[in-house]
Structure 1
């Protein structure tokens, strides 16, 4: 019986800082980061503080951070905390809508400076740990020391008492060599994970985006900076050529051929062929903005205004509006009458 008790006690050790003592998992060396044991009463506060310090992230990121500091935080406690948090958030939102019915809720993911130390789903590591082989540390709050020990530290001697620094030795040189191997391993795994993620994205895009053929009708999205507010968001065109080597397409619209080549994800295929190549003007090539302007009912992006004066205002080609084939608008000479309205 005594042997069993001694075997169980050998699994633990005590970390002491001044008058504070914490039960931790026994370490093979004093330089290894301590993993603390927390009581049932402390579990909620520990999980909550970790949730706040990591930038209100999800279960997996919280669990990884907790496992770096504590030895007995089960995954069920983290899941329970996240579930209760979701229910509490839903209840708060419902009450806010009852108090202020006209309010608008904006959904989105907040941006936090901790993103370089957060777990990246594509590479299965955080960007910082992939680069340097260890997790990011900013002060004692991100160390593996418990909060009670950090709060009682007042001098450098207190820090050295819980984290002794030994002189450089063959053991330390071995640790440096192991760190270099760890960095190379993580970078290699990150590169493989990125390659695998790219292959999955290409495979998914080939399923969702079928290849276009010559004569297919397409809808090319027009960026907001290239169109007027009243212009359509897409311009209809026809595929007139496809480069097999680069998998890019040449597209023509009614007024011209669009300059440059388009990849498959830059346009949508129309289910029917409303236009054919014979309806297209293939004699000139212009930019997308110029093509939109040629089909715009309001003159396209921007506006044309004149500042003509005199008795015969806007009756000659000197008028910018008349020269552009447009009627004068309210921005011309304070909306006074003219010959081009």
Structure 2
């Protein structure tokens, strides 16, 4: 319902502006769909796909809440972003200098520079990702704190790429677990609504309309020959066993027994159409 309202508002806005660029509004409708809370997985589709909460505008940048709250113009935003980038570069150069000085004391060999896996900038190899083992800078733009207070040359950090991958895996596992709980609830409701059938009970299996002729019966008589541990049933007729597993809502038990289980040809499997 919310998606329809968003699409209606978007179309109304384009009509009022006499605009013919309808494709410009598709991203807003798609964003609304991806950012709504899904009751089945208890998170937004955006979170399940990317592992983070959906963000737009200034919130999606690396600015702090205090810095974003004082912004009033685009020029201020551009100035802060440029200063943040310059500060990050200075931090990278400073860490490289410290790492080079420390390495020169401990060893006289020349240090080979490596590219950071997150920003692809030159790094001296002072820090490595504890997950992928690649080199990265120990700054918020390139890595996250792994909870260790150890600092200095050779200490391990978690790069942004591995951190995002872990978040995606965690969100997807949570969505899968909740979907399993939802399936169990549906199965429990179905079990309470439909009583369990026993082996030897005669049941009526409805025939699909596409497989039934004008003079054919609407149902066929079958008998329950086996009950699986998953809750499905194997049915049989006097012409052989049906090659499909049936759930309880796919047939109706009969009060009387019209077909005995001994009349079923156990060595032959047939389809419902046959």
TM-score bracket relative to the smaller structure: 0.3 to 0.5
TM-score of the superposed pair, with normalisation by structure 1: 0.39
- Please tell me whether Structure 1 or Structure 2 has the larger radius of gyration of its CA atoms: 1
TM-score of the superposed pair, with normalisation by structure 2: 0.47
